[in-house]
Structure 1
Amino acid sequence: MLEVKLTPELDTALSREARRARKSKATLVLDAVAQYLQDADDYQAVLASRKHRGRTATLDQVKQRLCLGG
C-alpha cells in the first residue's frame, strides 16, 4: 500500500478531473502510475535498442522495406 501526500493544488485538480471523468481519484492515480511505468519501460527499450543496434527506422520506412505500402 502506498500513501501519497498531494499539494492542495494537485488535490483540487485531481478532484476536478475525477468528477469530469466520472472516476475515482484512486483510479486516476493508478492509471497515471501504470502509464508512467509503461512509458519508462518503452523508453528503456529504445535506449537498449539504440545501444545494441544503433539504427532506428520510422514506421513509413519499415512499411516500405516490407512492401506494405505506406
Structure 2
Amino acid sequence: MTVEDSAAPIPEYDRNVLLGDHEMSAVNHSRGCGLWLVYWTVDLAGGTIDHTADDSGNTVTLSLPQASEPEA
C-alpha cells in the first residue's frame, strides 16, 4: 500500500520513528501516536516501511507479507 500527500516532508525525528530508526519509550516516541502505531503494526506483522520525500510531498509505502493458508 502506498500513501502520498502534498505536505511538507515528515520531520526527521518523526521519520526515524516511522522507519524504526529510533528507540521508542514511554516518554520518547514521536509527536503523535499515528506514526508510532503504523510502525508497530507493520513491524509486528513482519513487514517493511519505506518513505521518500521531495518538493511535491511524501510517499510512504507499507509492504506486508501475504497471509498463508493454515495447515490442515
- TM-score, length of structure 1 as denominator length: 0.23
Comparing both structures, which one devotes a greater share of its residues to helix? 1
Larger Rg: 1
With the length of structure 2 as denominator, give the TM-score of the two structures. 0.23
